[in-house]
Amino acid sequence: MLPEIESFVSWLRRKSPQSSTAVHYGSDLKLFFAWIGKACLDVKVQDVDAYIEHCQKEGHAIGTVNRRLCALRSFYQFLYLHDENATGNPVIPKRHFIRPGERLPRDVEDKNIKALFEGITNVRDRAMFLLMLRCGLRVGEVRNLSMSDLYLEPASGSLPRIWLHGKGSYQRVAYLSSQPLAALKLWLEQRPKVREEAVFVNRFGKRLSVTGIQDRLAGYCHQAGLWVTCHQFRHTFGRHLTEARVPVTSIQRLFGHARLKSTEVYLHISDAQAQEDYLAAMNEIMQVLPLEVKP
């Protein structure tokens, strides 16, 4: 790794020790400079143009390309602040960032959720994935969960809850219904008595990694003959809340979204009111214009 990248990654870790940004940005920068084969200060705007074309030919998703551009732009901003020899930033937002369009979140059908969970008999794994499905936790939030974050015996009238370390080092609270609470308590009864503060530990008594959690899910998916990602559990949680007619402002708080717009996308995948309005309209229209479907 170039010394400039090492300095940048160390700086990111100091700024936000709970965030995974340093790991991802460091990896993105290594890929870029391995491809470009130039010193940091020799990179031009046209090199970034060529790199975007290279990534697109490789078939990388728009979100992946934009994240790599964010890493590169942040890196050169860092150099400008810390290196007197640094030149201008070769990443120009209006020129380089790709418009992703608006994509709806992909949830999981309930029948597939049922089939998947029938094979998850490991107490620890079942607790982890139920926290994602029933409480909307991200995989990184499950990984970062520590014993001091648990508040499982609240005062009368309050729900059990957990404190989460989310994206960008922001904290939020997630409430626990009876099912994830029971699964979590069952795991805590069997959890090894180790000094590690992590709620979910591996066989060595160490905190599980994000990759480790994802690999566990991949194994269960292979066993069930389907494919589900950890983040799809969170999307399914959003669909379930929408179908239960939970107000969108409450869903926003439960998800920890800073903007209501981020939450409103879940209304598009399962809007009960829109479905009722559509069926009512179609029934009325078919009275006026009946079109039979014949075999």
Residues assigned a catalytic role:
138, 167, 231, 234, 257, 266
Strands (E), 210-265: none
Q: What are phi and psi of 125, to 5 degrees?
A: -65, -40
CA dist 20 and 11 (Å) reads 13
User: Residue 105, exposed/middle/buried by CB under 10 A (0-12, 13-18, 19+)?
Assistant: middle
Contact 105, 265 (CB under 8 A): yes
Which contiguous run of DSSP H or E holds residue 80? Answer: helix 62-82
Q: What are phi and psi of 84, to 5 degrees?
A: -70, -15
Of 24, 49, 9, 79, nearest to 210 by C-alpha is: 24
CA dist 223 and 99 (Å) reads 37
Cα torsion through 10, 14, 17, 20, rounded to 10: -40
Six-digit token string for 65: 């390309």
CA dist 67 and 86 (Å) reads 22
Six-digit token string for 220: 């269960």
CA dist 212 and 218 (Å) reads 10
- CA 62 vs. chain centroid, Å, equals 16
